[in-house]
Protein backbone atom coordinates (compact mmCIF):
# COMPACT_ATOMS: atom_id res chain seq x y z
CA UNK A 1 0.00 0.00 0.00
CA UNK A 2 1.04 3.56 -0.72
CA UNK A 3 -0.13 6.36 1.53
CA UNK A 4 -0.15 10.10 0.96
CA UNK A 5 -1.61 12.77 3.23
CA UNK A 6 -5.08 12.24 1.71
CA UNK A 7 -4.94 8.94 -0.18
CA UNK A 8 -4.48 5.24 0.33
CA UNK A 9 -3.44 3.46 -2.87
CA UNK A 10 -4.01 -0.23 -2.37
CA UNK A 11 -4.75 -3.54 -4.08
CA UNK A 12 -8.29 -4.07 -5.31
CA UNK A 13 -11.08 -5.73 -3.34
CA UNK A 14 -14.32 -7.24 -4.63
CA UNK A 15 -16.17 -4.52 -2.74
CA UNK A 16 -14.55 -1.85 -4.97
CA UNK A 17 -16.52 -2.85 -8.07
CA UNK A 18 -19.50 -0.52 -7.63
CA UNK A 19 -17.36 2.55 -6.90
CA UNK A 20 -15.07 1.93 -9.88
CA UNK A 21 -18.04 1.17 -12.14
CA UNK A 22 -19.48 4.57 -11.19
CA UNK A 23 -16.21 6.24 -12.20
CA UNK A 24 -15.75 4.34 -15.47
CA UNK A 25 -19.44 4.68 -16.32
CA UNK A 26 -19.31 8.49 -16.12
CA UNK A 27 -19.26 10.23 -19.51
CA UNK A 28 -17.15 13.11 -18.17
CA UNK A 29 -14.47 10.72 -16.91
CA UNK A 30 -14.45 8.71 -20.13
CA UNK A 31 -14.53 11.71 -22.48
CA UNK A 32 -11.13 10.81 -23.97
CA UNK A 33 -11.85 7.08 -24.30
CA UNK A 34 -13.92 5.24 -26.91
CA UNK A 35 -16.84 5.14 -24.45
CA UNK A 36 -17.98 4.46 -20.93
CA UNK A 37 -17.46 1.05 -19.37
CA UNK A 38 -20.14 -1.15 -17.88
CA UNK A 39 -19.76 -3.22 -14.73
CA UNK A 40 -18.56 -6.31 -16.64
CA UNK A 41 -15.71 -4.32 -18.23
CA UNK A 42 -14.77 -2.84 -14.86
CA UNK A 43 -14.83 -6.26 -13.22
CA UNK A 44 -12.44 -7.55 -15.93
CA UNK A 45 -10.22 -4.48 -15.41
CA UNK A 46 -10.04 -5.12 -11.67
CA UNK A 47 -9.19 -8.76 -12.35
CA UNK A 48 -6.32 -7.74 -14.64
CA UNK A 49 -5.04 -5.33 -11.99
CA UNK A 50 -5.16 -8.01 -9.30
CA UNK A 51 -3.21 -10.39 -11.55
CA UNK A 52 -0.62 -7.71 -12.35
CA UNK A 53 -0.25 -6.94 -8.64
CA UNK A 54 0.46 -10.62 -7.98
CA UNK A 55 2.88 -11.00 -10.89
CA UNK A 56 4.71 -7.65 -10.83
CA UNK A 57 4.11 -6.09 -7.42
CA UNK A 58 2.24 -3.08 -8.81
CA UNK A 59 -0.90 -2.16 -10.70
CA UNK A 60 -3.34 0.67 -11.21
CA UNK A 61 -4.19 0.72 -7.49
CA UNK A 62 -7.60 1.46 -6.00
CA UNK A 63 -7.48 5.07 -4.80
CA UNK A 64 -9.21 5.51 -1.47
CA UNK A 65 -9.75 8.73 0.46
CA UNK A 66 -8.09 8.21 3.84
CA UNK A 67 -10.58 10.47 5.63
CA UNK A 68 -13.67 8.53 4.53
CA UNK A 69 -12.54 5.19 3.07
CA UNK A 70 -14.35 6.04 -0.17
CA UNK A 71 -12.87 4.58 -3.37
CA UNK A 72 -12.64 7.42 -5.88
CA UNK A 73 -10.97 5.63 -8.80
CA UNK A 74 -7.45 4.47 -9.48
CA UNK A 75 -3.88 5.78 -9.52
CA UNK A 76 -0.90 3.58 -10.15
CA UNK A 77 1.56 1.87 -12.42
CA UNK A 78 0.97 -0.68 -15.16
CA UNK A 79 3.14 -2.73 -17.49
CA UNK A 80 2.51 -1.65 -21.08
CA UNK A 81 3.41 -3.90 -23.98
CA UNK A 82 1.82 -2.85 -27.25
CA UNK A 83 3.03 -2.01 -30.72
CA UNK A 84 4.37 1.51 -30.10
CA UNK A 85 7.95 2.79 -30.17
CA UNK A 86 8.20 3.46 -26.42
CA UNK A 87 6.99 0.02 -25.25
CA UNK A 88 7.42 -2.26 -23.49
CA UNK A 89 7.55 0.03 -20.49
CA UNK A 90 5.90 0.87 -17.19
CA UNK A 91 3.28 3.57 -17.42
CA UNK A 92 1.61 5.67 -14.78
CA UNK A 93 -2.08 6.41 -14.94
CA UNK A 94 -5.10 7.68 -13.05
CA UNK A 95 -8.87 7.83 -13.38
CA UNK A 96 -10.77 9.66 -10.67
CA UNK A 97 -14.40 10.52 -9.97
CA UNK A 98 -15.29 14.05 -11.18
CA UNK A 99 -16.30 15.10 -7.65
CA UNK A 100 -12.59 14.90 -6.78
CA UNK A 101 -11.23 16.83 -9.76
CA UNK A 102 -9.35 20.08 -9.17
CA UNK A 103 -8.25 19.15 -5.65
CA UNK A 104 -4.73 17.98 -6.47
CA UNK A 105 -5.43 14.32 -5.73
CA UNK A 106 -4.16 12.96 -9.07
CA UNK A 107 -0.76 14.68 -8.75
CA UNK A 108 -0.53 13.74 -5.05
CA UNK A 109 -1.12 10.07 -5.74
CA UNK A 110 0.93 10.02 -8.94
CA UNK A 111 3.99 11.52 -7.23
CA UNK A 112 3.79 8.80 -4.59
CA UNK A 113 3.56 6.17 -7.34
CA UNK A 114 6.63 7.61 -9.09
CA UNK A 115 8.55 7.41 -5.83
CA UNK A 116 7.35 3.83 -5.33
CA UNK A 117 8.36 2.92 -8.88
CA UNK A 118 11.83 4.41 -8.65
CA UNK A 119 12.74 3.61 -5.03
CA UNK A 120 10.92 0.33 -4.34
CA UNK A 121 10.74 -1.22 -7.81
CA UNK A 122 14.06 0.13 -9.11
CA UNK A 123 12.59 1.46 -12.35
CA UNK A 124 14.75 3.84 -14.37
CA UNK A 125 11.95 5.52 -16.33
CA UNK A 126 8.16 5.74 -16.30
CA UNK A 127 5.88 6.79 -19.14
CA UNK A 128 2.36 8.20 -19.46
CA UNK A 129 0.16 8.55 -22.51
CA UNK A 130 -3.05 10.39 -23.30
CA UNK A 131 -4.87 11.73 -26.35
CA UNK A 132 -3.48 15.08 -27.48
CA UNK A 133 -6.83 16.70 -26.72
CA UNK A 134 -6.71 15.68 -23.04
CA UNK A 135 -5.02 18.78 -21.68
CA UNK A 136 -6.01 18.09 -18.06
CA UNK A 137 -4.04 14.83 -17.96
CA UNK A 138 -1.09 16.52 -19.64
CA UNK A 139 -1.13 19.17 -16.88
CA UNK A 140 -0.98 16.42 -14.25
CA UNK A 141 1.94 14.82 -16.10
CA UNK A 142 3.80 18.12 -16.09
CA UNK A 143 2.98 18.78 -12.41
CA UNK A 144 4.61 15.48 -11.42
CA UNK A 145 7.80 16.28 -13.32
CA UNK A 146 7.22 14.40 -16.56
CA UNK A 147 8.40 15.82 -19.88
CA UNK A 148 6.89 15.45 -23.30
CA UNK A 149 8.61 12.55 -25.08
CA UNK A 150 6.78 11.92 -28.39
CA UNK A 151 3.45 11.76 -30.16
CA UNK A 152 1.94 8.76 -31.92
CA UNK A 153 -1.19 7.46 -33.55
CA UNK A 154 -2.69 4.98 -31.09
CA UNK A 155 -2.90 1.57 -32.79
CA UNK A 156 -6.17 0.70 -31.03
CA UNK A 157 -8.00 4.00 -31.64
CA UNK A 158 -8.14 4.18 -35.45
CA UNK A 159 -11.94 4.18 -35.36
CA UNK A 160 -11.90 7.22 -33.04
CA UNK A 161 -10.06 9.98 -34.95
CA UNK A 162 -10.79 12.59 -32.26
CA UNK A 163 -8.63 10.68 -29.76
CA UNK A 164 -6.32 8.64 -32.02
CA UNK A 165 -3.46 11.18 -31.90
CA UNK A 166 -1.74 10.73 -28.54
CA UNK A 167 1.13 12.25 -26.63
CA UNK A 168 3.63 10.43 -24.44
CA UNK A 169 5.37 11.89 -21.41
CA UNK A 170 8.35 10.37 -19.63
CA UNK A 171 10.25 10.86 -16.40
CA UNK A 172 13.57 9.28 -15.55
CA UNK A 173 14.83 8.36 -12.12
CA UNK A 174 16.76 11.34 -10.91
Closest residue by Cα to residue 60 from 92, 24, 15: 92
DSSP lists the bridge partners of residue 125 as: 172
The pTM for the full model equals 0.95
- Taking phi over 0 as left and psi of -120 to 50 as alpha, with beta for the rest, 101 belongs to beta
Structural domains in the chain plus CATH codes = 2-172 (3.40.630.30)
Mind listing the pLDDT tens digit of every residue in the chain (174 residues)? 999 999 999 999 999 999 999 999 999 999 999 999 999 999 999 999 999 999 999 999 999 999 999 999 999 999 999 888 899 999 999 999 999 999 999 999 999 999 999 999 999 999 999 999 999 999 999 999 999 999 999 999 999 999 999 999 999 998
User: What is the distance between the alpha carbons of residues 69 and 100, in angstroms, rounded to a whole number?
Assistant: 14
Phi and psi for 86 in degrees, rounded to 5?
-105, 0
Residue 16 has what pLDDT?
Answer: 98
Amino acid sequence: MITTPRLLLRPWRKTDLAAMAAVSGDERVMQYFPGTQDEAHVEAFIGRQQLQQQERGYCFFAAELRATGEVIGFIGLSYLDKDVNFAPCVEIGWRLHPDTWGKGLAPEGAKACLEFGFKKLGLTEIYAETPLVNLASQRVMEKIGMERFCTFMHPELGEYPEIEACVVYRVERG
